[in-house]
Amino acid sequence: MNAPLTSVFAERVAGAHRFGLDRVRRAVRFAIAHRDRKLPRLAQIRNLDYPAASGKRAVRLYVPLHAEAVGPAILFFHGGGFVISDIETHDALCQRLAHAAGVRVVSAAYGLAPEHPFPSQIEDARAAFSWLQDQAAELGVDVDRLATAGDSAGAYLAATVAHEANSQRPGAVKIQGLFYPLVHLDDEIWAQTLLRDARLIGRLAIAYINAQLATAHAPSLLDAVGPATPPTFLVSGALLDPVHPDAVSYAKALEAAGVPVELKVYPGQAHGFVNFTHVLPAAVDAVAALGERLGKALRDGA
């Protein structure tokens, strides 16, 4: 990045932070949490917690109607750039995901930056996965039929956990479902595609995220593509979703590596659109599509 742009981005990032991170978090929660009034009926919603290095973290279990007594589960991580959002902002999404998949969904919170510097988020995600395996019998979860899922930064965590789990035990995660994944935080790549893919807003967001992560480096998901990557179902916006080009690159890398992959694109939808099931039919459709695909794979192995 050249010097003038560096100063401009630094100024924008500092200005955003001065606005007040807590205020931003409250605003996001107000905008999307508990807004969906047409949620499907579930058999159970249960609040729990799991032990992580950064402290006890909230986790919420969603059990759909007619779920198996012991059945598959999807471990879900919320997005928000590792900085905002929580299991409340993603509650409607997870309720709809459990209903569409027909299997349990376990939504795990994690420590947010900058209070919890990166890679604390990855460490928490690992802890959540280990906790789910340890508590499987009590939760009614079949540990041989697990999926990971998430949106944006949560998708990054879901893919990272899936790759690590499958590296240790092949097939530990059967499939991953990723809404507009944050594939990398490399500013140079964002700079190269700034004009071609209209990614100015996205680059500003990446600059802010990197500022909160301090000096930590977030490895690219592209570097982890290989035999340990599970079959993948991707959802993305198009021109209004700044990570769409990276989702396409990730899908191509998976295909080249021989990993089964499907990419469903929603033209006209912006990054974060699946959190707006209360106003966007496309969001309802996207959550249902991903849920149905994961559920079928976990039940039928297809």
* 271 noted as active-site residue: yes
Identified catalytic residue from 85, 120, 152, 249:
152
Phi and psi torsions of 47, nearest 5° = -90, 130
**CA distance linking residue 200 with residue 209, whole number of Å:** 14
**CA distance linking residue 249 with residue 84, whole number of Å:** 26
Q: Are 228 and 167 in contact (CB under 8 A)?
A: yes
Within a 13 Å sphere around the CA of 70, how many CA atoms are in the beta-carbon half? 8
- End-to-end Cα spacing for the chain: 45
* 91 noted as active-site residue: no
Please, what's the largest Cα pairwise distance for the chain? Answer: 60
Beta strands in the chain (DSSP E): 42-52, 55-64, 71-77, 104-108, 141-151, 175-179, 232-236, 261-265
Locate 38 and state its tokens: 């047409």
Identified catalytic residue from 124, 197, 241, 246:
241
* 241 noted as active-site residue: yes
Helix, strand, coil abundance in the chain, percent, nearest 5: 45, 20, 35
Identified catalytic residue from 90, 116, 163, 271:
271
Q: Which residues are catalytic?
A: 152, 241, 271
